[in-house]
Every structure is written in structure tokens, then in C-alpha cells.
Homo-oligomer: A and B are copies of this chain.
């Protein structure tokens, strides 16, 4: 029976177990073996492990100090299987990045030298660089705060999450086709699209082209998901993400509709008046409406909204300070695209929250001494 330290931290609407790389190495087993056993990934209910048996509660990150210039800590994000003895290491998770930032401040991986502390992070899965800025009043790491994010009523420490130079992370260009506006042919004929690559590749359409106005509930938006699924394929081809005849991906690019702000009700029934946000967005997650918006999609939308000529730029209400409030089915998420030096694409900042739930020693049912 191995033992390893870990912290259960909520980042936004995910629950992540965060481990120190040195602690993982010290166990003498590889990370896959350790996480599969610690989470009881083999069991669909994860009854013999620390996993929560849902995609948002079966996540881990392994963190270490980095010697890369401009990076404080690197982290590997793990999506741990549920009834499936596999760990996915192919993606990043913005929610877990938020948790990593809070962990790094608490564990002293970055020095606290003023009333706010910024953790510069490298996601080793994707190469993405992020920053997490946390209030550290009195030069102490906080355990509580009053920040909330759409999707949970829980309070947490505010974390300003920054995606650094997010443009072109997949294709090398913020506008993979070279144009802010393209025309794709969907099941009901040609439709305008803005194809952007920032945070993740995304294809954004005008809600009006589908007879929507952006106030739609998840159920109402579901009606256009089949058409958007067809258009996702066309967008993938146009952006050079796949070749004609290649297998269809249901994850790439992200796809959704945008519109100017209109008064709507969230999934939980809260009224959001049109003056409280700047752009309405309804995204697809695989084959269904996304309950809110993925953070990488939010980055794509914020980047598009800051790019003249795109659909998002056309419908978005301009604000004085560059803040962009995204009206999602779960509520309003605030993003901001700010200029970056040295020719980098604008940094996209998102206001998130994190909370340490538990500090633990995990007992992991792996025979000791199993080779790495």
C-alpha cells in the first residue's frame, strides 16, 4: 500500500486532486499506475478511491517547479477514467489550472512578495502557458474568498486566470483561413462563420442564421445542434484541422453561436438582463449543448470579439475597459483580452474561483516497489 500526499481543490466547477511531482516520483510507480489505483478508475462508481465518478470530479494535476524561463511551475493534467483503466494526458483544463495556482501559492512554490501573487504556469500536455493571480493580503496564502463562478453557488478564492499568447496554438494562426469571416455550407445552405484558433480552434456562427436570438435555453438550443455538427466538420476542413475523408472528430473545433446581448433566464431560472453582459453565446459539447462554456472556448470567443471583421466583433457590445462579459446558459462569465508585448497575441483573462477542500495522505492500493 503506497502513501502519497495530495490536495483536493475545487477549481471553478471541477474538483481536482493536486499532487507534487516529487511525491509522485517517490512512490516508485508511474503516474498512470498511481492515479488509476488512487481513483479506483476500474470501477464506474470509483467506490474504492478518491475519484468522484463524474468527468468533472475525476481529474488530477501533477505539479513541479519549472526551470523554463518565465515559468514558475509546470503541471501535467490527467483526466482519470471512470470504469475505464486509462488516464488521458492529451488536453489542458482551465479549471484545474486555477486549482494549481492556488496550490502553488499555498505550497510556497512561488514567493509571496506583495498583496497579489501571480503564478506563471506551463501546461505540459499542450504547451499552453497560463497565469493565475491570487490576492495575498498580508503576504499570506488565502483559504477563503467571495468569488463565484457560474455553475455553483460555492464561494472561493478569486483567481484571475490568464491564457498567455493563446492565438494559433493549434494551427499557428489566430485566423486559420486568413479571413475574419468565411462562408460554410450547412444542411440549410450557406452560412457565415468566423473561424478562430485561440485557446482552442473554434467555429462561431451568428445565432440569427439559425433563427435564434441568443436567449435560448439549453433545450431550445439543442434543436440546432445537428446542423452545427454538420458545420463543425466543414469548419474542421476549412481550418486545415482534418483532411477530406479523415475520421470525424466530435471535439474539434469547438462550435457555437453568438449574438448581441438580450435578456434571458439561466438554467437555474435567474434573470439576466441585457445590460449585464456583452455577448450571448451557446456552445456545443460533443453532441449536446454545453451547460456553460469551456474556458478554452471562452478564450476563442474573447479573441474573436477583439478581432475586427469577425462575427463576434460585430455583435459584441464594446466596453470602455475591454472587459467582455459572456452570457452563457449557466450565467455570466467575465473575460478580458489585453495586449501583450513582443508580438504575442492578446492575453485572455478570466475571473475564476478556487477553494482547497482537503489536504490528505492517500493510501493507494499498489504493491510497493513496482517499477516505474
Q: Do B363 and A358 touch (CB < 8 A)?
A: yes
Q: Do A154 and B365 touch (CB < 8 A)?
A: yes
Q: Do B47 and A15 touch (CB < 8 A)?
A: yes
Q: Which of A295-349 contact B (CB under 8 A)?
A: none
* CA A156 to CA B43, docked complex, whole Å: 15
Kindly provide the distance from the CB of A49 to the nearest chain B CB, expressed in whole angstroms: 6
Give A37's nearest chain B residue, CB to CB. Answer: B154
At the interface, yes or no: A115 with Cβ under 8 Å from chain B? no
* CA A348 to CA B183, docked complex, whole Å: 73
* CA A57 to CA B46, docked complex, whole Å: 10
Using a Cβ–Cβ cut-off of 8 Å, how many residues does chain A contribute to the interface with B?
39
Give A4's nearest chain B residue, CB to CB. Answer: B358
Q: Which of A27-82 contact B (CB under 8 A)?
A: 40, 42-43, 45-50, 52-54, 56-57
- A358-B154 contact, Cβ under 8 Å, with A1-B144, A143-B363, A144-B1: no
Q: Chain copies in the assembly? A: 2
- A360-B359 contact, Cβ under 8 Å, with A15-B47, A47-B10, A47-B154: yes
Q: Do A153 and B43 touch (CB < 8 A)?
A: yes
A362 is contacted by which of B47, B54, B358, B361 (Cβ under 8 Å)? B358
Q: Do B50 and A53 touch (CB < 8 A)?
A: no
Q: Which B residues lie within 8 Å of A42 (CB)?
A: 153
Q: Do A57 and B50 touch (CB < 8 A)?
A: no
Q: Measuring CB to CB, which residues of chain A are less than 8 angstroms from any residue of chain B?
A: 1, 6, 8, 10, 13-15, 40, 42-43, 45-50, 52-54, 56-57, 143-144, 151-156, 355-363, 365
Query: Can you name 16 A-B residue pairings with CB atoms under 8 Å?
Result: A8-B360, A10-B48, A40-B154, A45-B152, A46-B52, A47-B56, A47-B57, A47-B151, A48-B156, A50-B357, A52-B53, A53-B54, A143-B363, A154-B365, A358-B361, A359-B363
Known: A40-B154, A48-B156. 14 other contacts (CB 8 A): A15-B47, A43-B152, A43-B154, A48-B152, A48-B154, A48-B357, A53-B53, A143-B363, A154-B365, A355-B365, A357-B362, A358-B360, A358-B361, A359-B361
